[in-house]
Structure formats: structure tokens, C-alpha cells
Structure 1
Amino acid sequence: MGKKIKQIAIYGKGGIGKSTTTSNISAALSDMGYKVMQFGCDPKADSTNTLRDGTYIPTVLELLREKGTVDAHDAIFQGYNGIYCVEAGGPAPGVGCAGRGITTAVQLLKQQKIFEELDLDYVIYDVLGDVVCGGFAVPIREGIAEHVFTVSSSDFMAIYAANNLFKGIQKYSNAGGALLGGVIANSVTSPFQQKIIDDFVERTKTQVMEYVPRSITVTQSELSGRTTIEAAPNSVQAQVYRNLAKRIDEHSESTVPAPLDSQELKEWAAKWADLLVAIESGEIRGASESI
């Protein structure tokens, strides 16, 4: 029997830094000696760019449209430190389901036994998390990924998307679906932002995997087409990503979250909005230690 491949899915709303985070996790895991495949599941097909000096690669769906049948090896490209890069892609604009590429690409690689052939330790799915539609829910629903992590800031729409993801995980959990590992708190620059995320994860019965601060180092690295791990390996930010990768590597037990219903989420957000206004106006003093 071959070794067990650890398959994880990282979700997050568009623009939250999900692909940035995923690529740095992949880079850090590869530096730890693991054989890693990063599987981009966004129709924009830009998940693996910073692992390949900013270059795009042909997607599985593009190759299928061109050729009809595809040898999976034609869709796999190596990037930083030998990381295998795959982009599922999406349908032609205005045609079909954007999530179809995930299903098609996963089936292609499984049918041709690519994961076993490459002797992978990790397959990391980078999945759009604004909506958990049928296609984008595939890594959860089908149990393809064993553990799910979500990238979220303290902004309401990011938390709203994370809470929707929790609902999807809860829905499919009884049918062998993937379970939740935790929240990766991104763009945390103040104690209040951290406390908002801490409160949300406590209420939804999960955990924070790592607090990732906003950093100009990330911007500089991505402008050069590289991850922070590659472009600034000695930076503080690179060490944050290494810590996150180590926690994910050590993680073994995921759980079913307890998402808030619509009214609970609305009331929770309103409470925080009122509290922050009161602090800003000086109505509440010394609150940063007592919240």
C-alpha cells in the first residue's frame, strides 16, 4: 500500500489573499522536504503564478477544448523547488459552470493515477470561496480534501463567506465530506481585528491556525512574480508562513464547525459595529484589554 497523501483545500473570498497564502504554504512545505502539488481551482487560473515567476500555465479545460482528450502530464508544470502546478481553469466566458473545471481536472488526474505516480505528500486545492456552489464544493462534498482551511480577514464580507463555507462543510459532513481545520486570519494589523476573528471562531467552534499580518514584503515579492518564501526567505513575513505551514503539517484532527444562522450573524456583526463606534468616539476607554 502506498503512502497516504494529505489533501487539503484552502477557501476564501476573492481578493482576501487566498492564493498568496496557499502558494506560500506550498513553498514552505516544499522547503520542509515534502513533494507538493498546488491545484488552482479558480477560473482565473492564477493560483500558481508566484510559484512560476509570474507566468500562467495552460489549464485542464483549455487543453480539453483544444484537444478533446488530454494526457494529464500536459497540464502539470513544475515551479519553485519542484512544486507541481495545475490549473483547472473554467469554461469559455458566458458558457457553463465555473466550478466544472474542478470536477473535470480532479477526475482526469485520478483516472491517470497522477498523485501516486508523482509520489506526492501534499495536494493543496486553492478554491474560490465567495459561494459554495456545486462545482466549488467538490473538494468538500466528495471528500477529496481531508481538511479544509479558510482565509479570512476581520471584514464582514470575508467572515460572511467563511460562515457560508462552514454551512457547506456542516451539510456534507454526514456523507463523508471534508471537515474544517481552522481559519487563517489574514491582513491582521490591529488588536481589534484579531479580537473580531477570535470571537467569530469561538462562536463557530473552530480555531485560528495563524495570524498573518499585512506586509509590504508580500507586495514586493508578488510584483517580482514570486512568493515571499522565495523572494524574501529571511523576512519576518516568510517566518509567519513557515509557522503556518508547520501547523498545517502537524494538524490531524478536523471538526464540524457550528456556523451562525443569518440572524445570528447579523446580530453578531451589529454588536461589533456598535462597539467599535463607541471606542472610536471615546465613549468606551481602555476597551482593547477588556473586549
Structure 2
Amino acid sequence: MPYDQPIGSGGPQPVPAAVDTDMLHGGRRAPAEDTPIAREAEAAVAAMARSQQPLPRPASTRTMVVANQKGGVGKTTTTVNIAASLAQFGAKVLVVDLDPQGNASTALGIEHHSEVPSIYDVLIERYSMEEIVQPVEDIPGLYCAPATIDLAGAEIELVSMVARESRLQRALSVYHDTMDYILIDCPPSLGLLTVNAMVAGKEVLIPIQCEYYALEGLTQLLRNIELVRAHLNTDLRISTILLTMYDARTRLASQVADEVRMHFPNEVLGTAVPRSVRISEAPSYSQTVMTYDPASTGALAYREAAREIVERYAQVPGQRALPADAEEVAR
């Protein structure tokens, strides 16, 4: 399986050069490397160079649940862009869209109207996973199990069904030998769909926005993860926390990042995803930012985050207990 293919459909794009400004210190021009634009350009060039380096393949399929009870934190954006980055590095990746809104399906250019067989049909055992999974045209190695609006009523239907919490786990078992990564995009709630995802997965990836209410709702998410671990899936653990919507110009973003890193020193990635117009624009063209603008700061950040996910957890660490007092995290 190749791991050195070029990133993006059009290959790496050139990084803009630093602007030549007259910043004088005692009559002398400041060194170019001291300007913010030059430092940003240097970091971008280094990131593009790293993106061409091969990545190790996981020893077994890594199933990652992308969850956060709070909406608008970048769950779907993180799911599709991390998945696209991993696929561009040469991995085989499956995105499972478990959100009735179907935003992940839209971003990957997958049709998900009511007539399309979807993950809903798998949960009620009308179709198998092989019958609904579709390849993503622009990115070889990336596949999607789409969601339709029918999924909105799935939680009510699942209540009376046998083994309602483990239906997704059984359906995904056919891909454990063929996929390197399975990323499950959860709805912004903690209902049966999210529980199904947590039973099917082994790792939880939590996107947290660098805003004032960043940790709001995280307490309940941690409790649910603990309940699933105790009763349904002892292998489940929080492996990754990604800071999103990071604005380096504000002190608040730095404070939120520091607080999250204090509570989760081993899980928070070193890469933070900045606010980016390109990231927001990409879904309107049915693309991820990895193909829409591969040289943008958002694409570079997600590519670095994907690399970190691979390298930091190449050797899967042991279980890490959740905080004894989850209330402490939300304070």
C-alpha cells in the first residue's frame, strides 16, 4: 500500500512568500525571519515537506468515535478532514456518517437523499454495510457510509430492538480486516446512536473549540464514556483531543487551550486547527479542505493533526482511566 503519494488532487501548492516590509530597528531592517508572515510561511513549508513523508500503517483497524455533546465544535469538519488526510497518506479509511443531518456525506460528495441506502438501513438490518458504502471520488482509499434523514427516527425504532446498542458494532466487523481507520461522526447528542458508535469503537476523538464554553457539556460526555466502558465496551478510551477554531490573536484561545491541556496532558494534540474561511467554504463545493485548498492553513493543520494521530498512537497505549471527578473538568 503506497504511503508517499502527493497530497491533494492537484499536488502541493506554493506557499506565498513573506511580504517585504520596512520594520526598522535603529536604522536597520528587521531580519525577514523575524516577521510573522515569514514565520508562518516557514512553518507552512515545513508542514508541506512533512506531508510527503510516509506514515506507518496501524497493526489493526483503528475505530475512532468523533463525539462531543456540544454542537458547532467542528465534529463533522474534523471527521472528514482527518479521514481525507489519512487517505491521502495512503491509508484505507471509512467514514460512518451517524448524524441525521448528513453533513459528513455532503462534505465527501456522497448522495444521501431518502432513496439512497444508508446507515439507517444497516441499523434496522435492511441492508449490509457492503451494500451502502460508497467510494469518495476525489480521494482514493476513502469511503463513506452515508446518512439520510431517516436516521432521525432511528433512536425511537431501536429502543424495542434486540441488542440495540451493538448493531453498528456487528455491522462494522466486516471491515476490521480491510480498513486501516474507521471514523464515526456522531450527532451532537448522547442518545442511542452515539452509544452505538461508542460500543463499535475503541477510541474517542473529542474536538473542542477554543471558546468560552469549550468544556461545557464535557462532564456528561465523560460520564457516558465511563458507563459504556463499564457495561458495554471495556476497550473504549479517550485517545485524542483536538483543539479547533483556534484564533492566535486572542488571549481567550490560549487560556482555553492551556486549561484543556492541563486536564488532558496526554490526549491533546500539539496541533490546533485555526479558524479558516477555506474550511468553511469547502463543504459548499462538496469537498473537504484537503482537496478544495490543500495549501491553506486549515488543510495544513488537519494534515499535521492526522500525522500526529498516526505517530503518537502507532503503539497503542494502555487504558487511561477517566478523571475520578468528572465535575472537575467542567469547572
TM-score range (shorter-chain normalised) is: 0.7 to 0.9
2:185 to 106, 126, 136: 126
**CA pair 25-133 structure 1, distance change in 2 beyond 3 A:** same
TM-score w.r.t. the length of structure 2 is 0.67
Over the matched positions of the two proteins, sequence identity in percent amounts to 19
- Measure how far apart 1:149 and its partner are: 1.2
**CA pair 131-259 structure 1, distance change in 2 beyond 3 A:** farther
- Measure how far apart 1:90 and its partner are: 6.6
1:155 to 191, 211, 217: 211
1:51 to 81, 85, 108: 108
Deviations 1:62-112 (A, max 9, x none): 4777xx7324322111113231100355757567438879844443343xx
- Measure how far apart 1:248 and its partner are: 1.0
Matches of 2:170 and 2:276, distance apart in 1: 37
Whether 1:78 and 2:135 are equivalent positions in the alignment is yes
- Report the residue type matching 1:255 in the other structure: R
Aligned to 1:258: 323
**CA pair 61-220 structure 1, distance change in 2 beyond 3 A:** closer
Name the SS for the 1:159 alignment partner: coil
Which is richer in helix?
1
Matches of 1:93 and 1:182, distance apart in 2: 28
**CA pair 213-206 structure 1, distance change in 2 beyond 3 A:** same
Range with bigger deviation, 237-246 or 10-19: 10-19
Query: Structure 2: any 5+ residue segments left out of the alignment?
Result: 1-58
Aligned to 1:285: none
Matches of 1:171 and 1:96, distance apart in 2: 19
TM-score w.r.t. the length of structure 1 is 0.75
Contact 2:67 2:205 in 1 (8 A): yes
Matches of 1:229 and 1:93, distance apart in 2: 29
1:218 to 272, 279, 283: 279
**CA pair 212-95 structure 1, distance change in 2 beyond 3 A:** closer
- Report the residue type matching 2:238 in the other structure: L
Aligned to 1:183: 241
**CA pair 4-63 structure 1, distance change in 2 beyond 3 A:** closer
- Measure how far apart 1:21 and its partner are: 1.0
Aligned to 2:94: 37
Aligned to 2:263: 203
Contact 2:135 2:144 in 1 (8 A): yes
Aligned to 2:194: 136
Matches of 2:158 and 2:79, distance apart in 1: 19
Matches of 1:169 and 1:146, distance apart in 2: 11
Deviations 1:201-253 (A, max 9, x none): 41355532131111011122222121110110122221101000011112232
Name the SS for the 2:257 alignment partner: helix
Aligned to 2:34: none
Name the SS for the 2:86 alignment partner: helix
Aligned to 2:290: 229
Aligned to 2:38: none
**CA pair 201-257 structure 1, distance change in 2 beyond 3 A:** farther
| Structure 1 residue ranges, 4+ long, deviating more than 6 angstroms after superposition | 98-102
Aligned to 1:282: none
Aligned to 2:309: 248
- Measure how far apart 1:145 and its partner are: 1.7
Matches of 2:151 and 2:285, distance apart in 1: 29
Contact 1:10 1:125 in 2 (8 A): yes
Matches of 1:35 and 1:205, distance apart in 2: 29
Contact 2:129 2:145 in 1 (8 A): no
Contact 1:16 1:186 in 2 (8 A): yes
- Report the residue type matching 1:123 in the other structure: I
- Report the residue type matching 2:223 in the other structure: K
Query: Structure 1: any 5+ residue segments left out of the alignment?
Result: 269-291
**CA pair 171-198 structure 1, distance change in 2 beyond 3 A:** farther
- Measure how far apart 1:180 and its partner are: 0.7
Whether 1:239 and 2:300 are equivalent positions in the alignment is yes
Look at both structures and tell me which one has the larger radius of gyration over its CA atoms. 2
Matches of 1:233 and 1:183, distance apart in 2: 23
Matches of 1:102 and 1:226, distance apart in 2: 32
**CA pair 96-181 structure 1, distance change in 2 beyond 3 A:** closer
Matches of 1:63 and 1:7, distance apart in 2: 18
Contact 2:75 2:185 in 1 (8 A): yes
**CA pair 99-245 structure 1, distance change in 2 beyond 3 A:** farther
- Measure how far apart 1:25 and its partner are: 0.4
Matches of 2:181 and 2:321, distance apart in 1: 22
- Report the residue type matching 1:41 in the other structure: L
Query: How large is the Cα RMSD of the aligned pairs?
Result: 3.1
Aligned to 1:16: 73
